[in-house]
Chains A and B, each alone.
Chain A
Amino acid sequence: MSTFTPYTYFQCPCTDSSPPVRNIGSDSPTSIHSSSSEDEKAFDPRAPRANYSLYPLEHLLYCEDCHQIRCPRCVLDEIVTYYCPNCLFEVPSSTVKSEGTRCTRSCFQCPICIAPLSVSSLEAPPEGLGAEHASQGGPYVLNCPHCSWSSKEIGIQFDKPNGIFTQLSKIKNGGDPVITARERRKDREERSRDSAPGPVTDEDGVQDETVVKLDPNEVLDAESQFSNLKAFYQAQLAEASPANALGFSGGDYGYGSPGALSRIMGLYTGGTYADKKSKAKKGTMREAQNAFEGLKIVAPNSEDALIAKLQNEGWDATSSSLQRDEQSTHTPFISDLRPIAYLLRTKRSKRCKTCRHILSKPEAKIQTTRFRIRLVALNYIPSISIKPLQPLLSTQLQAPLVPMKPTQFLLTFKNPLFESVKVNIATPAQTPGRFASKITILCPQFEVGANTDAWEEALRDGSKGVEREKRRTKAEASEGQLQAEAGKVWERGRNWVSVVVEVIPASLKPSPDFLKTEAQRKLAEEGGEDDRVREDEDVVEIPVFVRVEWEADTGGEDGGLGKEKEGREKRELAYWCVLGVGRIG
């Protein structure tokens, strides 16, 4: 049997403009008009859209200026800092822009099992006198303390124990050095210098004859292919339009500009947009012709090696889809995997989307988990907790609700405010959905005391009164055999009130045929509606509309001049909640 914990979700009112609406009771279209407008608006927690507006109270914020609940959908996030979760170093946003969102120090995750990798020396630790002070020599490897993977397995070793990211970026799996983008650029420059005498020679392929250190048929990896292609097309663009000489000299910036865009359009649409000079000079762009220019010819037998490896080493040598997801290139084999640099994390502050006031702002320092500002809804709106009224044996705790048997639950409202609040709660008579359980709130209106200091309360004699009251209600309860009385609060404390709600769980058995409405019957005949219980349909979810009223000090923010005007102001807050009380057995 699946376990069930009662839950309460709050709906953020920011979805009010398009509330998920479903008329309750009947499926016939006429009922929309016949039922009262109040019923029509009843919130349906099962509507597909409801998933996006329901949150546990702990996830919600509260805007003190708008006097409104704020959910993740109606706040704006602002990144305060980027940091590495492994070394806790802050990364400036400029570095994030230029270097990407990964830690560029020595923080890596195991490509096999994602555990953090540590750097260790392959040399035996020094022994003898003063061994503690002697430093270990290289070479160094990254190794995983969890699954014993080591970068030695992919043929990678390091000379220094620090700055692993830069060292790793220069080594291919197997130990060959990576030809960096800069080296490639240098090489390209050399080549273009060699072929300089005739600027048009590249069209005849003369350029290829010049002596270069790179192999024109080199098999490029994805990164160098991209950098070669990029350089090639940049050169093409620069040659294709003389305007470049005036403005942007082949840098990265030319692409986005409207001029560049129209030129690119011109190149591909036959030149109507291209200016005549460049057209006369160059015609159209040519394509890459060799590996220097980023051309990668896929040989028909290029996959033979892969297939052979698969045959020799089998399934165990292949990487799993989870392992591949973490890699930036296609890595069919374990031997292709590379250590994963740690993805940076952010600290964010949150603003109200309506008034732009800050609702939450963490301390910028990475090591602290404190907040400068944090306006959480928990401190502003009453929390609701649910428990069964009948004390249950521990074995019964998870017992499912019995269909058609009235079951009573205690809703406890706890007030976090320093003013007492008036609470109104309302529910539809039946839960929405195919299996309508009947709901009755025995006390829909009550007042919850202020959240004054507990010690202050204890010092005043008032506390005794509260105690007495509590005891009295308890006594009443025992006399009445746990029979809740309509219109009365069940139990009351300093800043909390419990009221009783009665649920008559629906039967999960399909209603007999003669009871079905015409529409239902029709649907069943068409096979559109089956009688089986769908996922979580057996959970009784009660939509509750809560309205909270209280009087608050108006002073404070607009203090300054009119301090004497510090009066009392009536505040009101209304929202839908969903109470998940139990599963029907």
Chain B
Amino acid sequence: MSSKRASTAPAAPKPPTSLSPTLTIAEHASLVGSYLITLGANTVVHPRAKLNSTYGPITVGSNCIISERSMIGLQGRGADGEGVVIEDGVIVEVGATVESKVIGEGCVIEVNAKVGRGSLLGTHCKIGPLCEVAEDEVLPDYTVLFANGMRRIDNSGVEDLKLKMVARQIDVLRRLIPSNLTKFQ
């Protein structure tokens, strides 16, 4: 308990990290908290993305894109051992808030969307702009949330293609964003 209390101290502590050498992380990204933050291979973290491990560990898989002003990690105290896991090939768009337990492979969290704490997203889900996933909600694979809370199951079967497109996007971003891995190690 005492360690937790210490973590809420005003001076943002530098969190313990486990960073892949192929990670691209901008200097102005912000990693705060006291729990472990793990960032996988080929993942890109934009400037001003906020990863907050104050209330639980954060694990991001490989080939993910974490965009500007997005907030990853629990924003309030949760159950012990609760954390945020983002699997491979996930795109978190600008201004999105992710507090969910697990985000499945190939999901897209669109601009300013909110994924509530404790929720479980299957693989290849898409949360549309400004859409919200409630706390503890479980979304099956291929769920698409769009418009004002409408949802459907995507049967197009082009997820492999989409993963390839994410990889291409990462290729471009790696060239554009200067990485400063040492700052966060």
- Which residues of A does B touch, CB under 8 Å? 112-113, 122, 124-125, 141, 143, 146-150, 152-153, 316
CB distance from A108 to the nearest CB of B (A): 15
| Chain B residues with CB under 8 A of A141 | 156
Asked if B155 is an interface residue, CB under 8 A from chain A, the answer is yes
A146 touches B158 (CB 8 A): no
Interface residues of B (CB under 8 A from A): 126, 128, 144, 146-147, 150, 152-158, 160-161, 164-165, 168
Interface of B, secondary structure class, is mixed
Cα(A152)–Cα(B156), bound, Å: 6
* Given contact pairs A125-B164, A125-B168, A148-B126, A143 touches B156 in the complex (Cβ within 8 A): yes
Q: A316–B155 Cα gap in the complex (Å)?
A: 13
- Determine if B157 and A152 form an interchain contact, defined as CB atoms under 8 angstroms apart: yes
Q: Which residues of A contact B153 (CB under 8 A)?
A: 316
A146 touches B156 (CB 8 A): no
Establish whether residues A148 and B164, one from each chain, have CB atoms under 8 Å apart when the complex forms. no
Asked whether A147 and B146 contact (CB < 8 A) given A125-B164, A316-B152, the answer is yes
Beta-carbon contact of B147 and A148 below 8 Å? no
Contact B161–A124 (Cβ < 8 Å): yes
CB-nearest residue of chain B to A150: B156
Could you tell me the distance in whole angstroms from the C-beta of B96 to the nearest C-beta in chain A?
16
A-chain residues with CB within 8 Å of residue B160 when the two chains form the complex: 124
Q: Give the complex CA separation of A150 and B155 in angstroms.
A: 8
Nearest residue, chain A, Cβ from B144:
A148
Given known A112-B152, A113-B146, A316-B152, contact A150–B158 (CB-CB < 8 A):
yes
B156 surroundings in chain A (CB, below 8 A): 141, 143, 148-150, 152-153
B147 touches A113 (CB 8 A): yes
Determine how close the nearest CB of chain B comes to the CB of A123; give it in whole angstroms. Answer: 8
A141 to B128, CA, bound (A): 21
9 closest Cβ pairs, A-B complex: A150-B156, A147-B146, A148-B154, A148-B144, A153-B155, A152-B156, A147-B144, A124-B164, A148-B126
User: Which chain B residues lie closer than 8 Å to A316 at the CB level?
Assistant: 152-153
List of B residues within 8 angstroms of A148 by Cβ: 126, 144, 154, 156
A147's partner among B128, B157, B158, B161 (CB-CB below 8 A) is: B128
Complex alpha-carbon distance, A221 and B77, angstroms: 60
Q: Is the beta-carbon distance between B146 and A122 smaller than 8 angstroms? A: no
What 6 additional pairs, Cβ within 8 angstroms, besides A125-B164, A143-B158?
A: A113-B150, A122-B161, A124-B164, A147-B126, A147-B147, A149-B154
A316 to B150 Cα, complex, angstroms: 11
Quick check: B144 and A152 within 8 Å, CB to CB?
Answer: no
> Closest Cβ of chain B: how far from A564's Cβ, in Å?
68
User: B158 and A122: CB pair below 8 A?
Assistant: yes
CA distance A148 to B157 in the complex (A): 10
User: How close is B8's CB to chain A, nearest CB, in angstroms?
Assistant: 35
Q: How far is the CA of A146 from the CA of B161 in the complex (A)?
A: 17
Give Cα distance in the complex from A153 to B153, angstroms: 11
Q: How far is the CA of A490 from the CA of B25 in the complex (A)?
A: 64
**C-alpha spacing A112/B147, complex, angstroms:** 10
CA distance A125 to B165 in the complex (A): 8
Contact B152 A147 (CB under 8 A): yes
In whole angstroms, how far apart are the Cα atoms of A148 and B160 in the complex? 14
Smallest CB gap from B155: residue in A: A153
* Complex alpha-carbon distance, A257 and B35, angstroms: 86
A141 to B168 CA separation, bound complex (whole angstroms): 20
